[in-house]
Amino acid sequence: MNTKEQELLALIRQSESMTLEFKSDAKCLPDRELVAAVVALANSDGGKLLLGVEDDGKISGLHANHHLALSILRQCQ
């Protein structure tokens, strides 16, 4: 397991907070809800959004529709 994976698992173990939001993507989270979650974090103290993580911390993964967006983001880094 690499360092990034370890960091993500450590975040998930902390559970949700004012600066950490989990969003399920099992049924393809609508873009509107995804944007609303990002805006809510941006309008507060900032934070992290973990897409593909259930409220109870279970990792459910990304819906196929969001895999393309993820690969584009990785290319931009």
Q: What is the reported pTM?
A: 0.80
In a domain, 2, yes or no: no
The confidence score (pLDDT) of residue 64 equals: 84
Which pLDDT does position 38 carry in this prediction?
87
Distance linking the first and last C-alpha atoms of the chain:
21
pLDDT tens digits along 17-46: 999 999 999 898 888 888 899 899 899 988
Total number of domains constituting the chain = 1
* 14 occurs within a structural domain: no
57 lies in some domain: yes
- Does residue 6 lie within any of the structural domains? no
**Percent of the chain's residues with pLDDT above 70:** 87
In a domain, 5, yes or no: no
Q: Is 41 among the domain residues? A: yes
Contact indicator for 49, 57 with CB cutoff of 8 Å: no
**CA atoms of 69 and 31, how far apart (whole Å):** 11
Q: What is the CB neighbour count within 10 angstroms for residue 25? A: 19
Range of the domain at 44: 21-76
The verdict on residue 4 lying in a domain is no
Please, which pLDDT band fits residue 53 given cuts at 50, 70 and 90? very high
